[in-house]
Structure 1
Amino acid sequence: MNHNVYISTPIYYVNDKPHIGHAYTTVLSDVIARYYQFTNFRVLFSSGTDEHGIKIEESAKSNNLTAQQLVDMNSRYFGEMIRYMGCHVTDFIRTTETRHKEKVIAVWNLLVKKGYIYKGYYQGWYSIRDECFFKESELIDGKAPTGAEVSWVEEESYFFALSKFQNKLIDLYEKDYVKIHPEFRKNEVLSFLKSGLEDLSISRTNFNWGINVPDDSQHVIYVWIDALVNYITVCDAYERNYWENSQIIHVLGKDILRFHAVYFPALLVALEMKLPDSLIVHGWWIKKQEKISKSLKNAIDPHMLVEKYGVEIIRYYMIKEMKVGSDTNFSEEDIVKCNNTDLANNFGNLLQRTLMLLKKGASSTVPDVDISNDDFYDDLYSNLIPTILDSMRNLDFFSVLSHLQNISNRANQYIECNKPWELYKNDEHNFKIKIKVLLECIKCIYVCLACIMPTTSKRIMTMLGITSIDVRLLLKTHSLESGLVIHPLQEPLFCRL
């Protein structure tokens, strides 16, 4: 197995500040990166900002700024967003950096040398908001499928010979060489490919803010060609041949699937480079049946949410509420419900009850008893934890949280059924078995939460005498240390809102 992993968010367009959609993509990517780190993979995790194009040029003018001033300011907001969402990237790339411009020009020149770029004349529908071309047949009521306005464009352009790669791409997806999650998104890509690919216009002449085509300063390289090359820039800067020697996972929203599932793989085939292994394609956060976005002026500030509720609660809410592939309605009422029902009433209640019982019946000390014959303990390690590990391997953290809620519910029921507050008076041995089983449940829950709520998990792991977290803690052979003193929390782990 290849133990190098490269995980990327898309690079974010900096014509405005970050919104909840950017924060969710970053958090989901961070959760996946942490999972691979905990399973002892070597992880490169990147994010960054896409800083060229006509939207930047126009936004800068409307704000009485230069384009460079605008991207410098807004790129900083995205860097801050990554930090306040509790995420840690290896590389934050900006497309205005010299290293990236040089890589884009090198890629362009190589494609020219291989005969895949030629000069021609473009006519067609174009959406400035989406930075994307659309066929007449794709328009819905005269607009792009995303609802964006389109305009008819006629101009001299350089083209990438995309049509040459149609059959190759169909074969790659039909044979699952590149996996797209969820599966129905793969079917969308195949449908688009089988409808026929046209050569792609990859330069513009109606604005100046971008990377000039080599030896033709009248043309600026299409912003999506520029942007997609960032992944290669990052890997080459990190380590020679890292791209070729890694498992590659791109996390992205459904509105940019075409760029990552059609244009970028075609470029990689043309360059004779390795293809990504997986595309994780999530849906949109919506409000009043509309996508939450900067362009629609209904953006929700993730920093405000973190300030109001705390980063760990928001991370939990995002992963709990959005099943990858589906659109999800944003609601602050659901944030409160997640906190009160899942965190305070279930996880928090289990922890508090167990620690109080441990103090009362065992002087806050992990009992030295054999729990291998307990039915719930056996089910935990024989069925419940393996199910969670399967979900983790499939990068399905929505299901991971559902399974953890089930374990916690089962543990709370276990307390009610066994009444340990009575056992400690007349059956000390059985009491200690029940308490140690509960402590094992708590250990497993917070090990699994480490990817999603890293600070909370670390606090509980430290209390349980665990100094580093990895997947082996979910094996029976890594039980809690007998004799360890675990003091009750001075205040609830999760407070009701």
Structure 2
Amino acid sequence: MSRFYVTTPIYYVNDEPHLGHAYTTVLADVLARYHRLMGDETRFLTGTDEHGQKVQQAAEKRGISPQQHTDAMSPRFAEVWRRLGISNDFYIRTTMAEHKAVVRRVLQQLWDEGQIYADDYEGWYDVSEERFFTEKELVDGQSPLGNPVVSIKEKNYFFRMGQYQQALIDHIEANPGFIVPEKRANEVLGFLRQPLGDLCISRPKSRLGWGIALPFDDDYVCYVWFDALLNYYSALSFGFAGDETDAFWPADLHLIGKDILTTHAVYWPTMLMGAGLPLPKTILAHGWWLFGDAGAKMSKSKGNVVKPLDTMDLYGRDVLRYFLMREMTPGQDSAFSEGLIIERNNAELANDIGNGLNRVTKLVETQFEGKLPTGQGYGEAERALKTLAGEVAARVAEEIARYHPNGAIGAVRQLSGAVNRYLEEKAPWKAVKQPGGREATAVTLYHAAEALRIVGTLLHPVMPERCGELLRRLGAAPEPA
């Protein structure tokens, strides 16, 4: 049996779950469901990132402890994923004792091997991103992300990241599928043309008390990104059925937004190299959802952030899942509008799949006492439909192997469209009324229902509720996993 391990980023507890978070998580869910459908032993991880300065400051404002703050905030994400039908196998929180133990173990290993050292650091600190920037990196006195910075000089600990620069370049060039799409790999290679330098992996407790204490210096806590990135690895040791690290590491797929590409495609691989661990097989950096005719990126400052539950309440869970998977090609930006959601639902779900299903089930109810006939005769039209169904199933497998659910949906739509054309050609609602037409109608309904069963099965990972109902109406059981 093949294995498949997919992860989302862990989401920062101070954020509000938005459409971008939902897209990444639904994409991971759809891919995990497809792999389960194909019989693969699958693990799907998501969760929340709960340490750092922003969490500490938010807790102070509320007059509560950081742990109380994260305990209140983390369930918001879990609830959104539950309502969106997300089938994650584990939900990790970086405040879990087991995760913290793994982080401290890796830190101790790197310290013992001389890969972490102490030094004074002076630079510009972006509190919002919890990152240092050099003078050269500032843009008009702000961080490259447009956030205010403060000058800080202090002792810290550093990971010798720079010593892995050439090894990382070699790995990217030797493994074209390591970072996808290709343009993101080229971005990382461009970044690596400049000296990489070492990574500050600590914060003094005098400034930041909320984090994982360094095992070799209790006056410091671990840098939040170093801590958070290790969740993909740590979860396998305690989050599933026993320690599954050997079985499922390296991860098959890390799904991320393109805004955290450097962190995942530079910091994370060099950390793994330092720890002597295999690198993930693929890091897929997807694009952004753009809002309105101007194609503006969603942001709080612009007031155009889309909350997934609000959209789901308007149009339904599976309609939103379908739209997200249908509309975006991973790696490219895509437009969001409620008009597009309505259009996709009406044209592709109701008029296409729904219309074919209703035609078949209505005739089964009225003409065959609710029992799907077993007429299995084959003419040219039936052979063509069966051939197409096989081709579509093969193409879906190819598209999922490329992590392109939108391509898989496009393939399935070819089959659902063919079913409707087949029904139009055979017109069983007319044929059944003709002398001797019942047998021909039975053949038509059988083949149309079988093609629709395949449609429902192949789209089940995208729309588990709607396709589950489709399969039940056709008498198909059991439902796909």
Tell me the TM-score normalised to structure 1 length. 0.87
Q: Which moved more, 1:26-35 or 1:215-224?
A: 215-224
Structure 1's 47 and 372: CA in aligned 2 closer, same or farther, altered over 3 A?
A: farther
Alpha-carbon distance between aligned partners in 2 of 1:470 and 1:444, rounded to the nearest angstrom: 11
Matching residue's letter, 1:130? E
Question: Whole-Å Cα distance in 2 between the matches of residues 371 and 140 of structure 1?
Answer: 69
Q: Partner of 1:22: helix, strand, or coil?
A: helix
Q: Does 1:331 align with 2:337?
A: yes
Pair 1:279 & 2:283 matched: yes
Give the superposition deviation at 1:158. 0.6
Q: Which amino acid aligns with 2:226?
A: I
Structure 2 match to 1:479? none
Residue 287 of structure 1 and its aligned partner are, at CA, apart by 2.8
**Which residue of the other structure, out of 458, 462, 466, is the alignment partner of 1:452?**
462
Q: Matches of 2:169 and 2:44 in 1, distance apart?
A: 29
The more displaced of 136-145 and 109-118 is 136-145
Distance 1:209 1:458 in 2: 45
The match for 1:417 is 425
Which residue does 1:367 correspond to in 2?
Answer: 374
Question: Is residue 107 of structure 2 the alignment partner of residue 104 of structure 1?
Answer: no
Alignment: residue pair count: 470
Q: Following the alignment from structure 1 to structure 2, what is the Cα–Cα distance between the partners of residues 337 and 138?
A: 44
Residues 124 and 290 (structure 1), Cα distance of their counterparts in 2 relative to 1, 3 Å cut: farther
- Match of 1:303, SS state, is helix
Letter in 1 for 2:167: K
1:397 aligns with 2:405: yes
Instruction: Note the aligned Cα RMSD (angstroms).
Output: 2.4
Bigger drift between 270-279 and 290-299 goes to 290-299
61-70 vs 152-161, which moves further: 61-70
Distance 2:332 2:142 in 1: 23
| CA deviation map 1:74-114 (0-9, x unaligned) | 11111111111111222111111211111111110001111
Structure 1 residue 46 corresponds to structure 2 residue 53: no
The answer for unaligned runs of 5 or more in structure 2 is none
Q: CA deviation at 1:464?
A: 2.8
Contact 2:386–2:451 (8 Å) recurs in 1: no
Q: Does 1:20 align with 2:19?
A: yes
Contact 2:119 2:158 in 1 (8 A): yes
Task: Give distance in 2, aligned partners of 1:394 and 1:215.
Answer: 43
Are the counterparts in 2 of residues 286 and 328 from structure 1 also a CA contact under 8 Å?
yes
Deviation string 1:360-385 (CA, Å, 9 cap, x unpaired) is: 55454223223374343244134333
Tell me if structure 2 keeps the 8 A contact 1:20–1:302.
yes
Other-structure match for 1:89: 88
Instruction: Name the counterpart of 1:488.
Output: none
SS of alignment partner, residue 280 of structure 1: strand
Contact 2:389 2:451 in 1 (8 A): no
Cα distance change on mapping 1:319 and 1:107 into 2, 3 Å: same
TM-score (norm 2): 0.90
Question: 2:451 is matched with which residue?
Answer: 441
Matches within 5 A, 1:58-457: 58-134=57-133, 142-176=141-175, 179-205=178-204, 206-237=207-238, 238=240, 239-243=242-246, 245-246=248-249, 247-288=251-292, 289-293=295-299, 298-360=304-366, 362-364=368-370, 365-371=372-378, 373=380, 374-424=382-432, 425-426=434-435, 427-457=437-467
Residue 88 of structure 1 aligns to a residue in which SS?
coil
Question: Which amino acid is 2:217 matched to?
Answer: D
Distance 1:444 1:47, change over 3 A: same
Name 1:490's counterpart in structure 2. none
The Cα shift of 1:120 comes to: 1.0
SS in 2 for 1:415: helix
Alpha-carbon spacing, 1:135–1:416, altered in 2? closer, same or farther (3 Å): farther
Q: Equivalents in 1 of 2:418, 2:309: separation in Å? A: 35
Deviates more, 1:340-349 or 1:16-25: 16-25
Q: CA deviation at 1:285?
A: 2.1
Name structure 1 gaps, 5 residues minimum. Answer: 472-497
Instruction: Give the counterpart letter for 2:397 in structure 1.
Output: L
Secondary structure of residue in 1 paired with 2:233: helix
Q: Output the amino acid matched with 2:256.
A: L
Alignment partner of 1:464 is 2:474: yes
Q: Is the 8 A contact 2:361 2:474 kept in 1?
A: no
